[in-house]
Amino acid sequence: MIEFKNISKSFSSKDILNNISFKIKTGESVAIIGQSGEGKSVLLKHFNGLMMPDSGQVIIDKKIINELSFSDLQLVRKNMSMVFQFGALFDSLSIKDNILISLDNNTSLDTDEKEKRVIESLDLVNLSHIDHLYLNDLSGGMKKRVGISRAISIRPTYILYDEPTTGLDPINTGKIIKLMQSIKNSKKITSIIVTHEMKIVNEFVSRVIMLKNGNIIFDGSPKDLNSSKDKYIKSFILGKE
């Protein structure tokens, strides 16, 4: 269970998040949408403490994460993975080592179990045959898949996706959505996705939170979003001014 209580955040006197509150139940899939610069990624980084609010509380499994010590926060992060917009994979490491670094730090598996887990995680994204390659040898879509593979390898309870399909062609976008779908169904993971992609909203999530000027202007199902009469929401969905 995740709860955001009156979260506010500003940068250089510009308000990005303005007294935001919501709850996310375990197992729920939630999309955070809004125009560029509305603070979606900033909001997402509050879930795992990569950013801390100026005021308010972020509560995850009854722990107020913005009041935790660094070591306690690290314990919370062991149950929470993040897929970054451009992968954020370590270019000095091979694909396999990118996943191993996550397992080394977040699990107590022995060497053989870790090797097995790497193969399992890469199998899920159909990349186990190229685990020895480095990032320079991969396409954008492959990097995203490795990022997802790294995220799921630790068997998290929560998974955060920051624009997982940005920069991908429609075929790769479809592959990523299918992959996210299969992870959600098989592992019962709570998924929070920052996206502009209406395909993700319509096919993947059960709930949508829309941000504008640092406030939540919509919180409901994708069906309700699509049938909204609000001019701003309509223009966002249709991609027209």
Partner 1 sequence: MYSLLKYPLKKIISLFEEFGKFIMLIVNVFRSYSSWPVYFSNSIDQMIIIGTKSIPIVILTSFFTGMVSSVQAGYQMESSITPKWIIGSLVGETMLLELAPVITSLVLAGRIGATIAAELGTMRVTEQIDALESLSLDPIAYLVFPRVLAGFIMFPVLIIIADVFGISGGVFAAATSLDIDTYQFMKGFKTWFKPWDAWYGIIKGLSFGMAITSISCFYGFYTKGGAAGVGKSTTSSVVVSCVAIMLLDYILAALLL
Q: Is 11 in the site for partner 1 (CB under 8 A)?
A: no
Q: Which stretch binds partner 1 (CB under 8 A): 14-22, 88-96, 123-131, 203-211?
A: 88-96
Q: Mention every residue, 6+ apart, whose C-beta is less than 8 A from residue 104.
A: 114
Instruction: Kindly give the residue spans of alpha helices, DSSP state H, lying in the chain.
Output: 40-47, 70-77, 95-106, 111-124, 140-153, 170-187, 198-203, 222-226, 231-238
Q: Is 189 in the site for partner 1 (CB under 8 A)?
A: no
Q: Which stretch binds partner 1 (CB under 8 A): 26-34, 98-106, 122-130, 182-190?
A: 98-106
Encoded one letter per residue, x for contact with partner 1 by CB under 8 A and - for no contact, window 40-79 reads: -----x--xxx-------------------x---xx-xx-
The residue within the footprint of partner 1, chosen from 82, 148, 200, 201 (CB under 8 A), is 82
The residue within the footprint of partner 1, chosen from 55, 90, 137, 227 (CB under 8 A), is 90
| Closest CA relative to residue 39, chosen from 215, 240, 160 | 215
201 contacts 167 by C-beta, under 8 angstroms: no
Q: Is 88 in the site for partner 1 (CB under 8 A)?
A: yes
User: Total binding residues for partner 1 by CB under 8 A?
Assistant: 24
* Amino acid, single-letter form, for residue 127: L
Q: Is 95 in the site for partner 1 (CB under 8 A)?
A: no
Window 204 to 233, contacts with partner 1 (CB under 8 A): none
**Phi, psi angle pair for 132, to nearest 5°:** -85, -10
Cα separation, 46 vs 64, in Å, equals 11
| Closest CA relative to residue 121, chosen from 94, 158, 96 | 96
Which residues lie near partner 1 (CB under 8 A)?
A: 45, 48-50, 70, 74-75, 77-78, 80-82, 84-86, 88-91, 101-102, 105-106, 150
